[in-house]
Amino acid sequence: MEKLYSILGNYDSWYNDGEEKNLEAEKALKDFYNELKKLKPSRKYEKNMLHLSYIPYLVRIKKALDEKRYMRVCNEIVSLMHYEPFLQGRIYYNVLNLLEKEVMKDYT
């Protein structure tokens, strides 16, 4: 997980400061996707407050992707990794699918 944090760490900004850094954040998201894909989802269910509490993060990630605010996407993913059991299948596969459809579509 530490490697995932390090990929997005320099671009973790909700304010999305600067176009050049925003483009760098898009590349970081591609790198993040490739590293995340190498990991396997956890087989153990980790109970947190609510089973679906990660959904608002996904909504904000999708909205930021639609607006091409890649630094904000990084910020939301870092928050999601911090507050939720990120490698749970229900979160892992949703994030992977979202990045694949929105970020990797022109890359693969």
Does 30 fall in a domain?
Answer: yes
Distance CA(25)–CA(21), nearest Å, equals 6
Per-residue confidence (pLDDT) for residue 48, from 0 to 100: 67
Domain contains 34: yes
**54 lies in which domain range?**
2-102
Give the per-residue pLDDT at 45. Answer: 76
* Residue 107 lies inside a defined structural domain of this protein: no
Tens-place pLDDT, residues 36-82: 999 999 888 777 667 788 999 999 999 999 999 999 999 999 999 99
Domain count, the chain: 1
- For residue 108, being part of any structural domain is answered with no
Separation between Cα atoms, residue 59 and residue 6, nearest integer Å: 23
pTM above 0.95, yes or no: no
How far apart CA 63 and CA 13 sit, in angstroms, is 15
Residue 108: is its pLDDT beyond 70? no
